[in-house]
Amino acid sequence: MPYRSLMLKLLSAALVFGAWEVAGRIPVSYAFPTFLESMQSLLGMTLDGSLFKAYAETLRPLVVGVSISAVLGIGIGLWIGLSEKFDWLFSPIFVVMQTAPLAALIPLLVMAYGIGLTSKVFVVCIMAMPVIVLNTAGAVRNTPFSMKEMARSFLASERDVILKVVIPAASPLIFSGLRLGVSAGFIGAILSELKITPTGVGDIITYSRSIADYPAMYAAIFSIILLAVLFLNVLEKVELHLFKGNNRGYASD
């Protein structure tokens, strides 16, 4: 099964990259380079160190924003899942945050906090936190009632029920929410660099587009997708290791 999964992944990548190469050679647009040209540009940026410098800048708001979202998101999600009144009061807010075009809020954040790190962290948070909150709340809310009643029948306090029954039972779904939150955080980090001030990888994309260096632009975009995929696959492996027996299947399997 692992060998078959790997072969399917490689076949899928070969089809996508092959189609990219063909489309670039036709060409479908003068602004659409071939896959090989983009990879050559990516190799050049890697060797001269410019890509690493860019990611050092891009990962700062991503790490800070995802960390804040994880701590606050899990805490708020637990509270929503455990309290019907809190659920009724705050769940709609995060549902709206998840569905609304939050990119429209970026100009307001810039007006309030400027164009520095704070605004970019806020963008990452508003992208990642709703996913984490709603997944955590749903996991807590759907903890089997029989497990909680069994704990209470053994004279467990409400604190023990939460710490020893609810949280362990909800942990797999909470971790899945974290994984999805990291994915949304990647989007927020790049979006903030494109919309607030061009720094990091966003600066490479913006500058390359301005001088019509399209291979470099596509190489930077490809590197973002590659890093996100690799990071999410690592999180999937960690999740499978931590929660054996709770494998619900993944798109990458």
Give the model confidence (pLDDT) of 191-226 as tens digits. Answer: 888 888 777 888 888 888 889 889 999 999 999 888
What's the number of domains the chain is made of?
A: 1
CATH number, residue 91: 1.10.3720.10
- DSSP state, residue 199: -
Range of the domain at 176: 58-242
Residue 67 counted as domain residue:
yes
Chain CA centroid to CA 52, Å: 20
Q: Which pTM value belongs to this model?
A: 0.78
| Stated length of the chain | 253
Residue 48 counted as domain residue:
no
Q: Which among 223, 230, 192, 252 has a CA at the least distance from the CA of 45? A: 223
Instruction: Report the distance separating Cα 11 and Cα 222, nearest Å.
Output: 18
Residue 17 counted as domain residue:
no
Instruction: Report the distance separating Cα 21 and Cα 38, nearest Å.
Output: 10
pLDDT digits (tens, 9 = 90+) for 69-123: 999 999 998 888 888 888 888 888 888 877 777 777 777 877 777 777 888 888 8
CB neighbour list of residue 219: distance below 8 Å, 6 or more residues apart: 38, 39, 41, 42, 45
Residue 218 counted as domain residue:
yes
- DSSP state, residue 128: H
Residue 10 counted as domain residue:
no
Tell me the two tokens of residue 34: 């071939």
From the DSSP assignment, how many helices (H) and strands (E) are in the chain?
11, 0
